[in-house]
Structure formats: structure tokens, C-alpha cells
Structure 1
Amino acid sequence: MSELSKARVQPARAGAQQSRWSHLLYVAPFLFLYVTLLVYPLFAGFWLSLHKADFFGGSRFVGFENFVRLSNDKVFIGAVGNTFYFILLTVPALAIIGLGLALALNRTTRTAAFLRGVFFSSSVLSVTIVTLLWKVVFAPDGGFLANLLKAFGKAPVAFLSDANLALPAIAITTIWWCIGLPMMLFLAALQQVPRELYEAAALDNAGRWKTLWNVTLPSIRRTFALVIIIEVVLQFQLFGQAYLMTQGGPNNASRPLVLFIFEVGFTRWDVGYAVAAGQILFGLIAIAAMAQYFVARRKEAF
């Protein structure tokens, strides 16, 4: 290589190295916040879960004793089962109802715009307001459902005091409260579907159901997977509705995992035990989200 060529290469390498450092400076604030607010708390929480600790400064290393206690704790196991049951009650309903509303309201009329606002408006309410409204609906004395049952000659049902109905009642409340987000995500996806696909389906004399199955659903499959993942993560964190409507009762029938963690940590002051349960919750959320993600990717590959 000639001296002239070397002289040209050296400034180019120096410029490339300087460019890399400038790029690093741009992402440094994000990396700092990511490590500070996510990575460090994750490892610190796992380390704390290996201790017998409380809020008063006492801490003693016990290894995996907290996790062994959790595996033998019937209340914890019941809370895990309640959480999965709640997810089965809510996530499919939110996805299907949200898609149905999006299909029905994917119009440019004023009525459709008004109804979109109506269905989304519940999402902006606080959990306190939502639970107060639905406690009135489910109240066995003078509640909306009680009066409706009386009108048909049926005896009122104490939904929130029945071990078999408490969690489904909370699920209905949650679906009403959270339906706005999946509806809007599906609406955004439907508006991105090319019109040419529907025109081609019309030329082939495809009916509504055939068009839905062969054109609409394949076009929004990524959004459908996104909605499922988002709702699974959100519903794993059920807390406010169960705490305000039933406080986990009756007989632990509606106690979710987050409420169990809250009670252990802030009522019994057993912080290490609560953090260990939180680590299991994190693992369950990560496994569920990644499983759904890989299933969706595999379907797209076919």
C-alpha cells in the first residue's frame, strides 16, 4: 500500500471510531436507565429472595428456603391457580370481543366514531371507580343483576360472596374495563389492510366469513399476537379489582398472585418470602409471553 493510500485510510478509520463513540453517547441515557430501573432491580430482587428479610433492617441469608416454602404453601399454589384461571377467563374474551368491536366499528361514520369513544372511555377510569360501579352491579341487595333476576322471578345471587362466582365476576369487570385497548389496536391494524385485497376477494365472490378468514385475519395476525401477549402480561398482574371487590375471598377463591405478594410483604412483613413469590411471577410472565411469541412466529413461518 502506498503512503498516499495509508494517509487516506487512517483518517477514515479515525472517523469511523469517532462515529461509534458518538452513537454510544446517544444511547447512553437509555442504557443507564435500563440498567438502573430494570437490570439492577432484577438481580437485586433475586438476591433478596435468598434472604429472610423484613422492612426493619433484619436480613439473613437462607438460600432457596423461601422457594421451598412457596412450593409447600397451599395459599400460594391456590393464588397461582387463580391467576391462571383468571387469564383463561379474560385474555381470550378480550381478544375476541376486541376484534369483534373493531370489525363492527371500522367505519368512517359519526356513529362509529362515537361508539369507539364510548367503548374506549372505560379504559381511562381508575380501578377504584370501576370496582365501585361493578360492586353495585353485583350487589345481592338492590344491585342491577339482583333486580334483573327478580324481574324474571329468580332469587338474587351473591356473586362476590360465592367461591365459584367471585373470580368470574372480577373477570367480567376486567373485560369491561380493559376492552378499549385491544379494540383500538385491532382498529389500527384493520385500517392498514390494503383495500386491494378486499377488492380481489369481492371479484372472487368471497362472502363475509370467507373474506374474514382468508384476508382479514391473516393480515392482522401480528396484531392478534401482540394483543394476546399484552393482555397476558397485564392480567398476570391482577391486583386492584380483587383487592377492592373481594379482598381475595371467599376462602381464598379470588386471591391472585400479586395480592398474595402484597399481603405477605406489607401485612406479614416477610419481604424475602414476598420477593421470592415475585420472582416466580416474573418467570411465569416471561415464559407465557415468550411462548406466545414463538408460537406466533412459528405460525407465520408456515
Structure 2
Amino acid sequence: MKSKLFSKKLWWELGNWGFLLPHLFFFLLFIVIPLITNIQISFHNWNLLGQKVYVGLQNYIRIWTDDRFWLAVKNTVIFAIISIPLTMAVAMIIALILNQKVYGKLWLLVAFVSPTFFGSVGILTTWKWIYASYPTGLANYALLKLGFLKEAISWFETPTRAWACIIITTVWWIVGFSVLLYLGALQRIPPEQYEAAKVDGAGPWKTFWNITLPWMRNVLFFDVVRQVLLAFGLFDQVYFFTGGGPAGSTRTMVYYLYLVGFTRQELGQAAAISWYIFAIVLIFALLQLILLTRTVRSAEE
């Protein structure tokens, strides 16, 4: 009887593992094996066509002392510092508006959210035409007609303009997902909370600060982590708009990895850069996790 029961449990477990095998296979194929290969490549000099030459930690030392890499880190951090609060602020304003009784609310929600689900090629090609430097480019044409410009300008000529264009496009592109998150969180807040605040004579700002934000705390932390990952992975906008220019002022970490790995064919250094990026993102993610855990525990006490 015991052996029969054991045999039945064994087949049950084997059946469960059988369902997991396809996922495990692709996880090993596309995650584990590439990671191990990447670590191996980072200790070699290799240009894809030649022989691998073992150099130990030399690639990591080169990147650590490479001013261009740290400029890319600085650019990425600046982009994150500006774009993340701006995206969250815009998303919060839109979500607060859509949470009210607004005519055509569904169409407004679709308009704000739909760009999030479009591919980068279509989005960025359209925005590149908007930022075109000739007079018939949409931005130049509109500003010339309104009298804000006397002649057409190149929107990517200076670092300030280039970053402004990248940030505006990014916010417009990704804000929709944050709007969905915030709108869902707002609709979960009990109406009694606002009624009590109204009875106590609390104004709109005090109500927002003491009721809305605390109830949305966990969603906001999740969105910050999500947007940081997006910010540190910034590539498409730079590739389409500026190519890292002018003079490397818009070159980000991932774009620099692309230049080293695919343009200069220095795959060992590119692999080392990827691990530096991983370390930076991991450190931030751990800090966010610790902060989020403490916040949740304090809210439960």
C-alpha cells in the first residue's frame, strides 16, 4: 500500500515537472546560457571574427577608467532624475482628472494609454519628422506660424534641445501605463476617506497629501522601480534622434554598450559594460526593495 502511494506521488511530481520542462528549457536557452557566455566573453578580447584572447579583468579595468563610459553613466542618471518625476507628475495629473466625472473619459484614457503599446519604430519615426530641422517639420512649421521662431532650427543641435526632445518623447510614450496604474489605485480609495476630510475642512492639497498619496504609496514605489529600469535601458530614442550627439552629450550606457560591441566590435569590453549596468541597476533595485519593505511594514503596524 505504501509503495503504491509512493509510486502515485512520484508520477504526480514527474507530471508537474513535465509541465515545467518547456519553460525550463527556454529559460536555460535564452537566460542562463547567454549569461554564462557573457561572463566568459567579458574576460577575453574578441572581435567576433578572430580568436578569443584571455585578458582576465583587463576589460573591467579599461571600462572603469574610461571617461566616455562615466559620461554615459552621468547622462543616463540625469535623464532618469528629470524624466521619472516628470512622467509621474504628468501621469498623476491625468489620472486625477480621469478619476472625476469627465465627458468622453474613455476616449481620453485611450488617447493617453495607446502610445504605450506602439512599437518604437513607428513612434520614433513620427517624432523624428516632428523634430525635423527643415521649415516643413511639424514643430518648426507650427512655431514659425505662431511667430515664436523667425527661422527653422535644428532641434538636436545643442545638448539642452536634444535632451528636451528625448524627454518629451519619452514622457508622451510611456506615461499611459503610469496613468493606468494610478487610476486603478485612485479608484480603490474608499470614498469615506474623502468625505471625512471634507467634514474636517481639509483643502484639496491637504486631502491629496494625507489621503491620496498614502493610499497610492505601493503603486508609486512600483512605478518608480519600473521607470528606473526603463531609464537605465534608454536606447531607441538616442539611436533614432541623436546617435549620442552632439559630442557625446546624449550618449547613454546602453547606447555606449552598442557602440563598443557592434560598432567597434570589442565584444569583451561590451560584455564588461553590461555587467557594470547590471550592478548599477541591481544596487538601485535592492535599495528600492529595502525602502518598500520598510514602508509596507510601517503601514501594517
Q: Which structure 2 residues correspond to residues 71-150 of structure 1 after superposition, within 5 A?
A: 71-107=64-100, 109-142=102-135, 143-146=137-140, 147-148=142-143
The Cα offsets for residues 222-273 of structure 1, whole Å up to 9 and x where unpaired, read as 1101111111101211111101111111101111111111121111111111
2:226 equivalent to 1:226: no
**Aligned equivalents of 1:41, 1:108: Cα separation in 2:** 51
**Aligned equivalents of 1:43, 1:194: Cα separation in 2:** 49
User: Secondary structure of the residue that 1:159 maps to in structure 2?
Assistant: coil
| Inter-CA distance 16–59: structure 2 relative to 1 (3 Å threshold) | same
Greater shift after overlay, 204-213 or 230-239? 204-213
2:263 equivalent to 1:267: yes
The corresponding residue for 2:174 is: 178
2:284 equivalent to 1:291: no
- Aligned partner letter, 1:269: Q
2:45 equivalent to 1:49: no
The structural deviation recorded for 1:29 is: 4.1
The corresponding residue for 2:234 is: 238
User: Secondary structure of the residue that 2:104 maps to in structure 1?
Assistant: helix
Q: Which structure 2 residues correspond to residues 249-268 of structure 1 after superposition, within 5 A?
A: 249-268=245-264
CA contact (8 A) 1:76 1:257 kept: yes
| Inter-CA distance 109–171: structure 2 relative to 1 (3 Å threshold) | closer
TM-score relative to the length of structure 1? 0.86
Please list every run of 5 or more consecutive structure 2 residues that lacks an aligned counterpart in the other structure: none
**Aligned equivalents of 1:23, 1:108: Cα separation in 2:** 49
The structural deviation recorded for 1:45 is: 1.2
**Aligned equivalents of 1:58, 1:41: Cα separation in 2:** 19
2:180 equivalent to 1:187: no
CA contact (8 A) 2:134 2:153 kept: no
Aligned residues: 295
**Aligned equivalents of 2:149, 2:43: Cα separation in 1:** 57
**Aligned equivalents of 1:297, 1:58: Cα separation in 2:** 48
The corresponding residue for 1:4 is: none
**Aligned equivalents of 2:117, 2:64: Cα separation in 1:** 38
The corresponding residue for 2:30 is: 37
The Cα offsets for residues 62-99 of structure 1, whole Å up to 9 and x where unpaired, read as 11111111122222221111111111121111112112
| Inter-CA distance 37–181: structure 2 relative to 1 (3 Å threshold) | same
The corresponding residue for 1:217 is: 213
**Aligned equivalents of 2:26, 2:117: Cα separation in 1:** 28
Could you say what the CA RMSD is over the residues aligned between the two structures, in angstroms?
2.6
The structural deviation recorded for 1:198 is: 2.8
CA contact (8 A) 2:45 2:269 kept: yes
The structural deviation recorded for 1:25 is: 4.5
CA contact (8 A) 2:156 2:241 kept: yes
- Aligned partner letter, 2:200: D
The Cα offsets for residues 6-33 of structure 1, whole Å up to 9 and x where unpaired, read as x8x8887777776655554454444443
* % identical aligned pairs: 32
**Aligned equivalents of 2:161, 2:149: Cα separation in 1:** 20
User: Secondary structure of the residue that 2:245 maps to in structure 1?
Assistant: coil
Greater shift after overlay, 206-215 or 155-164? 155-164
| Inter-CA distance 141–300: structure 2 relative to 1 (3 Å threshold) | same
- Aligned partner letter, 2:296: E
